[in-house]
Amino acid sequence: MSIFEVSVQQLNDLLADEQGVYKWPTKHFHEVYQRIYVGNAFLATNVRRLKRLGITHILNAAEGNSYMHIDTGADYYGGSGIIYHGVPANDTDHFDISVYFEEAADFIEEALAYKDGKGKVYVHCREGYSRSPTLVIAYLMLRQKMDVYTALATVRQKREIGPNDGFLQQLCGLSRRLAAEENK
């Protein structure tokens, strides 16, 4: 099996500890890659703290107003100088988050290039556990040319995460697509 043919089970094995247990994040946020932070709604709704951290961009992977979403938007950050982008993703196995991979990767890339490479992006969902890390993993695959296993391991090394199986399957699909494009 090539590195591009990683299974959902192999990714789940990477996410769990030696006993097969998934851990919840130990902090509200973590820097998972240079100037890319993944976290929960607690920090996302604290503009003063975001500014102290130097966050220039927010990618809300749970935009909406239901219990499972975070009802912030560009207006919420108005006057702060923080640039906002929202993705209305649901954290369910059957939700197609892959339709947002390219737009999220573009936003993260723009954030990192901001002010001659001084931008910092906070990618969040409700818990910073499934939706937001999925979008960051897709970014690492699309823009940093990592394979799915390496991208997931990079984020998991810095933060406890647990994308649902549907999201993991979609990341495996992205991996297959990128491998096919590379081999053309």
User: Which of 52, 47, 49, 36 has the alpha carbon at shortest distance from 124?
Assistant: 36
How far is Cα 43 from Cα 16, in angstroms, rounded to an integer? 25
Q: Which amino acid is at 112?
A: L
Q: Is 172 known to be catalytic?
A: no
Stated as kind and residue range, the H or E segment containing 9 is helix 8-15
Catalytic annotation, pick one of 125, 141, 161, 172 = 125
- Inter-axis angle of helices 131-143 and 165-182, to 10 degrees? 10
Q: Which residues are designated catalytic?
A: 125
